[in-house]
Amino acid sequence: MQQIDLEQEKKDILNKYKSLLRACADKTDKADKKEIRKAFDLAVEAHKNQRRKSGEPYIYHPIAVAHIAAKEIGLGTTSIICALLHDVVEDTDFTLKDVEKLFGKKVSKIIDGLTKIHDVFDKNVSMQAENFRKMLLTLSDDVRVILIKLADRLHNMRTLDAMKKPKQLKIASETLYLYAPLAHRLGLYAIKTELEDLGLKFTKPEVYKAIAEGLQATKEERNKYITKFCKPLRTKLKENELYCSIKGRPKSIFSIRHKMVNKGVNFDNVFDKFAIRIIVESSQENEKSDCWKIYSIVTDFYKPNPDRLRDWVSTPKANGYESLHTTVMGDDGKWVEVQIRSKRMDDIAEKGYAAHWKYKQEGSKENSLDEWINNIRELLENPESNALDFIDDFKLNLYAGEIYVFTPNGELKTLPKKATALDFAFSIHTDVGLKCMGVKVNGKLVSLSHQLGSGDQVEVITSKKQRPRKDWLRFVITSRAKSKIKGALKEDKKRISGVGKEIAERKLKHLKLKFNINTETELIKYFDTGTSLELYFRFGTGAISNTEIKEYVKVKNSGWYQTIKNKIYNPKAKKSAIKVEKLIVFNEDGEVLDYEMAKCCNPIPGDVIFGFLTVVDGIKIHRSDCPNAIRLRANYAYRILKAKWVNKNEIDFIATINIKGIDKVGLMNNVTQIISNQMNVNIKSINISSYDGIFEGIITLKVHNVTFLKELTDKLRKVEAITSITRTYKH
């Protein structure tokens, strides 16, 4: 075991702390540094006996999170203090009250938002989702909660190598499913890119390695190409007194992989691996015109692809992103992506909303975050919303591209790409959405499912008689619309169920059957509705016919008790797994369990697989690259089982042998020699007793199959002193 050098660790901790102070020097004064020191001292004291999985002192983690918050996101003193203390309440004896006493209410509230419900976070999916809900609720008071959470996740991903493979898969899947899209939505592009790349590294290591090696192999050639590409641009920009920095950069590994999958091409055929960013020093009033001047200079030298021009300078994205993107044809027929932006725009692109605080005079652009937070709050505060539905609905809005549409009065509305006319109605007001009967786009009547495009002018026609319909959920894509429709449908269902209950009581009374709680339970089981709400809803809508009710009563009245009891309490026999030459075994010790193949990915022998424990259908087998794998691992890690294919004849089964015979010196040594040395069988346990010259032994073995076991017992029977061998065989 490696000796720990405590003195060296103390020096390292101090050096990391000094590096943190340098990272936030531009936004802290003497009083701020004093508070940061106080938080640092408390964190060092609280975590002094803790170590990370890598063996490092635990304090390295909060210092690293604070450094990311300060340097890479651009946050200030309060956030640095919260980052240093973010695990103190969760993992040590210090309480929120202690934190409030030392650092005030604001810090205490942020720490509360960051504190996970540790015992159940990894085990109970609803608590995990509820915890995420709790974290987002604090957004309306302080967006820093989520920014620090992202810094925490980024450092955990950077140090994920120290974890075991199942934990790596769970954390990386959760990162791709939730945290990378969240970073994207908050405009933290550098962090979003790194989270995606690291997520890919641990979920698909072979793919990640292949692309990384491909990029490394072409690095020198790429750098030469970009230097040559930029040379004429630098000269021309200088002549026009446009003071710019030009950076060349490769596309992220994740985005190259995304393009390879979407276009069905290999690494060599992803053509726009080259990208440059031109950042101009410009005042706020001139920056837009300067960006277009630079665009003009670039396209004088290189031919642009007209389909790849993106103007987020005139109309910024909802998360504040501003930039001019174009793809041009460079020398040798290579496409190069060019991003043009001012220094201010680059700050916002790299550090998202944290950078907005440096540019307060922007006014309206800052409001888009508040608008987004308000939309999220509406989802959070809906008591009918199931926690997991919420995460799925919320995720819909994270990665969406955006379109810009107008109301009849000319007011601009931002909606996700592929938003429908009905989504627009709900973006105006919940009542407008629920009462929406028709929509006119650019003066022409369209269907409610009509997909809107940027620049459309949209008018909604409402009617008091209109009610939301279930098929609306098929085509709306915004979480607001989905949430409101689900809520309204649930209310309708409750209303119809109320009427249905009265119908059920009346019909059963007419058939001279007493209606009580037992009858209700039997009806739920008989009609297989699952809940009383669904049962009465079917009565209310007429889905349960008079003939079916009469049949139920007839069977009950004709001595059906045992039949219905069997139907209710004896579950159907499980379908046996398909007999194949290969079987699947589970967990480290290769257990043989019942399973079924998942229809979503149809695994076949040889695929890399995992087991997922469903609530109703037992274990389902999914391929590791199943489209649902990331969602399942992120949300239901505690129900994932390790699984692998094995040849049927390679499975070790447990067998117990009972041996009786005459007790004599060296007999047991003789028996174990045959079992272990001659037959090479693993003995799991052995229990021998002797009495008056007679011995009896119970030996538990791991054997491949019945033939092998028979061969072993035949050999043992030849031992002179053994009088009988009986065996039981189980697996």
Tens of pLDDT, residue by residue over 481-537, are: 999 999 998 888 888 888 888 888 888 888 888 788 888 888 888 887 888 888 888
Whether 334 maps to a domain, the answer reads yes
Whether 10 maps to a domain, the answer reads yes
Pairing of strands 609-613, 402-406: unpaired
- Write the CA distances from 494 to 22, 63, 386, integer angstroms: 60, 52, 17
Q: Are 609 and 584 in contact (CB under 8 A)?
A: yes
Point out the catalytic residue in the list 90, 100, 402, 696. Answer: 90
* CATH number where 401 lies: 3.10.20.30
Tokens at 308, concatenated: 């790849």
Other CB atoms within 10 Å distance of the CB of residue 487? 17
| Domain co-membership, 473 together with 493 | no
Tally of helices (H runs) and strands (E runs) in the chain: 31, 20
Q: How far is CA 620 from the centre of its chain?
A: 20
Integer Rg of the chain from CA:
33
* CATH number where 289 lies: 3.30.460.10
The arithmetic mean of pLDDT across residues 193-202, rounded, is 94
For the cut 60, the answer to whether the pLDDT of residue 650 exceeds it is no
> How far apart, in whole angstroms, are the C-alpha atoms of residue 408 and residue 410?
6
Residue of 466 and 374 predicted with greater confidence: 466
Based on the residue annotation, tell me whether 392 is a catalytic residue of this protein. no
| Residue pointed to by tokens 């706020």 | 284
| Domain co-membership, 199 together with 342 | no
Nearest to 728 by CA among 699, 692, 689: 699
Nearest to 274 by CA among 205, 223, 239, 228: 223
- Write the CA distances from 656 to 306, 327, 397, 554, 727, integer angstroms: 76, 71, 58, 53, 6
Most confident of 64-68, 403-407, 511-515, 518-522: 64-68
What is the crossing angle of helices 364-380 and 387-396, to 10°?
150
The kind and range of the H/E element at 651 are none
Which of residues 362, 378, 400 is at a domain's end?
A: 362
Burial 490-518 (b: 16+ CB within 10 A, else e): eeebeebbeebbebbeebbeeeeeeeeee
Point out the catalytic residue in the list 91, 98, 112, 142. Answer: 91
> How far apart, in whole angstroms, are the C-alpha atoms of residue 703 and residue 731?
10
Which of residues 486, 509, 534 is at a domain's end?
A: 486
**Residue 711: pLDDT band with limits 50, 70, 90:** confident
Nearest to 485 by CA among 574, 438, 416, 422: 422
Whether 574 maps to a domain, the answer reads no
Nearest to 709 by CA among 667, 666, 659, 675: 675
Nearest to 457 by CA among 481, 434, 424: 424
* CATH number where 71 lies: 1.10.3210.10
Nearest to 146 by CA among 348, 316, 352: 352
| Domain co-membership, 481 together with 498 | no
Nearest to 660 by CA among 685, 681, 691: 691
User: Poorest-confidence range of 23-27, 206-210, 437-441, 449-453?
Assistant: 23-27
Count structural domains, the chain.
Answer: 6
Say what the pLDDT of residue 159 is. 93
The arithmetic mean of pLDDT across residues 196-204, rounded, is 93
| Domain co-membership, 497 together with 475 | no
> How far apart, in whole angstroms, are the C-alpha atoms of residue 704 and residue 719?
23
Residue of 670 and 434 predicted with greater confidence: 434
Tokens at 597, concatenated: 């193949």
Nearest to 292 by CA among 604, 640, 282: 282
Give the domain extent around 469: 366-486
Dihedrals φ, ψ of 160, to 5°?
A: -75, -15
The 8-class DSSP code of residue 106 comes to H
Say what the pLDDT of residue 353 is. 61
| Domain co-membership, 245 together with 191 | no
Say what the pLDDT of residue 551 is. 83
Which of residues 650, 671, 690 is at a domain's end?
A: 650
Say what the pLDDT of residue 381 is. 64
Whether 1 maps to a domain, the answer reads no
Tokens at 656, concatenated: 């117990």
Tokens at 179, concatenated: 């945290």
Say what the pLDDT of residue 296 is. 95
Q: Which residues, listed in sequence order, are joined to residue 340 by a DSSP beta bridge?
A: 278, 324
The 8-class DSSP code of residue 677 comes to I
Other CB atoms within 10 Å distance of the CB of residue 43? 26
> How far apart, in whole angstroms, are the C-alpha atoms of residue 295 and residue 287?
12
> How far apart, in whole angstroms, are the C-alpha atoms of residue 610 and residue 603?
10
Say what the pLDDT of residue 709 is. 74
Whether 575 maps to a domain, the answer reads no
> What SS3 class is residue 74?
coil
CB neighbours of 682 closer than 8 A, spacing ≥ 6? 652, 701, 702
Say what the pLDDT of residue 615 is. 78
How much is the mean pLDDT over the chain? 81
| Domain co-membership, 635 together with 657 | no
- Write the CA distances from 428 to 370, 421, 435, 630, 674, integer angstroms: 16, 11, 12, 34, 82
> What SS3 class is residue 622?
strand
Neighbouring C-alpha atoms within 13 Å toward the C-beta of 315: 11
Amino acid at 731: H
Residue of 715 and 126 predicted with greater confidence: 715
User: Poorest-confidence range of 215-224, 278-287, 479-488?
Assistant: 215-224
- Which burial class, exposed, middle or buried, applies to 230 when counting CB atoms under 10 A from its CB (0-12, 13-18, 19+)? middle
Across the beta sheet with 619-623, the strand order is 582-586, 640-647, 609-613, 619-623, 596-597
| Domain co-membership, 90 together with 173 | yes
Say what the pLDDT of residue 366 is. 44
Q: Are 454 and 405 in contact (CB under 8 A)?
A: yes
> How far apart, in whole angstroms, are the C-alpha atoms of residue 715 and residue 69?
70
> What SS3 class is residue 452?
coil
Most confident of 140-144, 443-447, 677-681: 443-447
| pLDDT one-digit tens code per residue, 562-604 | 555 555 555 544 433 334 457 787 776 667 778 889 888 888 8
| Domain co-membership, 394 together with 469 | yes
| Domain co-membership, 166 together with 68 | yes
CB neighbours of 642 closer than 8 A, spacing ≥ 6? 166, 586, 587, 588, 610, 611
Pairing of strands 335-342, 609-613: unpaired
| Domain co-membership, 284 together with 335 | yes
Whether 240 maps to a domain, the answer reads yes
**Residue 677: pLDDT band with limits 50, 70, 90:** low
Whether 577 maps to a domain, the answer reads no
| Residue pointed to by tokens 């319909």 | 469
Nearest to 596 by CA among 572, 622, 561: 622
The kind and range of the H/E element at 197 are helix 189-203
* CATH number where 691 lies: 3.30.70.260
Say what the pLDDT of residue 55 is. 84
| Domain co-membership, 230 together with 337 | yes
Pairing of strands 694-703, 653-662: antiparallel
pLDDT over 70 percentage in the chain: 81
Say what the pLDDT of residue 574 is. 41
Say what the pLDDT of residue 393 is. 72
pLDDT over 90 percentage in the chain: 24
Say what the pLDDT of residue 576 is. 39
Neighbouring C-alpha atoms within 13 Å toward the C-beta of 528: 2
Say what the pLDDT of residue 610 is. 92
The arithmetic mean of pLDDT across residues 643-655, rounded, is 70
| Domain co-membership, 153 together with 234 | no
For the cut 70, the answer to whether the pLDDT of residue 429 exceeds it is yes
Whether 639 maps to a domain, the answer reads yes
Based on the residue annotation, tell me whether 505 is a catalytic residue of this protein. no
| pLDDT one-digit tens code per residue, 250-277 | 778 888 888 888 878 888 777 667 789 9
